[in-house]
Structure 1
Amino acid sequence: MLTLGNMLVLMLLATGAAWLWHNHGLREKALARVKQHCAKLDLELLDENVAFKRMTFARDGNGRKRLARIYTFEFTVTGEQRHPGTITQFGPHSATIELAPYPFEIKTQATAEVIEMSQWRQEHKRWRP
C-alpha cells in the first residue's frame, strides 16, 4: 500500500523527470538556433553541441530581469582554431548569440578596372562645352 511519504517521493521523482525532459527540449531549440546562425555567417559549429553553462537572471529586450539559460558552444572559421560562443535563452525563445572575435575574409564581388584619363576624355568628349 502506498503511504503519503511514498506518494510524495514518487511525485518529486516525476517532477524531476519532467523538468529534465523540458530542459532537454530547450537545449535542442538552442542547438537548432546556433546551427542556423552559424550557417548564415558561414561558420562551422564544432562538435554539433551546445553545453549548459548556468541559469541566471538576465535582462530581456524590454529591460526586465528574467530567468535565463546560458549555453556555450564552439565554432571555427578555418578548421584550425576553436572560438567560443554563447547563446542566452528565455524559455524557448533565443535572446542573444554572442561570438568571440574571429578572423574572416572580406569577399569582394566586383573587380576594379583601371582606365586611362586620356581614354576617358576621348569617350566623354561630346559632353564638354
Structure 2
Amino acid sequence: MLTLENLLVLMLFATCAAWLWHNHGLREKALARVKAHCAQLDLELLDEAVAFKRLAFVRDAKGTRRLARIYNFEFTVTGEQRHPGTITQFGAHSAQIELAPYPFEIKKQPTAEIIELSQWRQDHKKRQP
C-alpha cells in the first residue's frame, strides 16, 4: 500500500529526474549555439561538448541580476593549441559567448589595380596584328 512517506519519496525522485532532463535539454541548446558560433568564426569546437561550470547571478542586457548557467568549452584555430571559452545562458536563451584571445590570420582583400586609359590603349594596340 502507498503511504504518504512513499508518495513523498516518489514525487521527490520524479522532480529530480525532471530537473535533470530539463538541464540536459538546456545543455544541448548551449552546445548547438556554440557550434554555430564556432562555425561562423571558422573555429573548431574541440570534443564537441560543453561542460557545466556553475550557476551564478549575472547581469543581463537590462542590468538586472538573473540566475544564469555558465558552461565551459574548448576550441582551436590551428589544431595545435586549445583555447577556453564560456557561454552564459538565461534559461534557454544564450546571453553571451566569450572566447579567450587566439591567433588568427587576417584575410587580405583583393586589391584593385588602377590602370590609366592611355596605358590600357597602348597595351592593346601592341597586341593587335
Q: TM-score range by the shorter chain?
A: 0.7 to 0.9
C-alpha separation between the residues in 2 aligned to 1:90 and 1:4?
A: 36
Per the alignment, residue 93 of structure 1 pairs with 93
Per the alignment, residue 50 of structure 2 pairs with 50
State the 4+ residue runs in structure 1 displaced beyond 6 angstroms.
Answer: none
TM-score by length of 1: 0.87
Deviation of residue 110 (structure 1)? Answer: 1.3
Identity %: 81
How does 1:8-23 map onto structure 2 within 5 Å? 8-23=8-23
Gaps of 5+ in 2: 120-129
Helix, strand or coil: the match of 1:108? coil
TM-score by length of 2: 0.87
Helix, strand or coil: the match of 2:2? coil
Count of matched residue pairs: 119
C-alpha separation between the residues in 2 aligned to 1:59 and 1:109?
A: 39
Q: Does 1:59 align with 2:28?
A: no
- 1:70-127: CA deviation from partner (whole Å, max 9, x where unpaired): 0000000000000000000000000000000000000012137598xxxx6x76xxxx
C-alpha separation between the residues in 1 aligned to 2:19 and 2:11?
A: 12
Helix, strand or coil: the match of 1:106? coil
- 1:15-38: CA deviation from partner (whole Å, max 9, x where unpaired): 000000000000000000000000
Helix, strand or coil: the match of 1:62? coil
- 1:49-78: CA deviation from partner (whole Å, max 9, x where unpaired): 000000011011110111000000000000
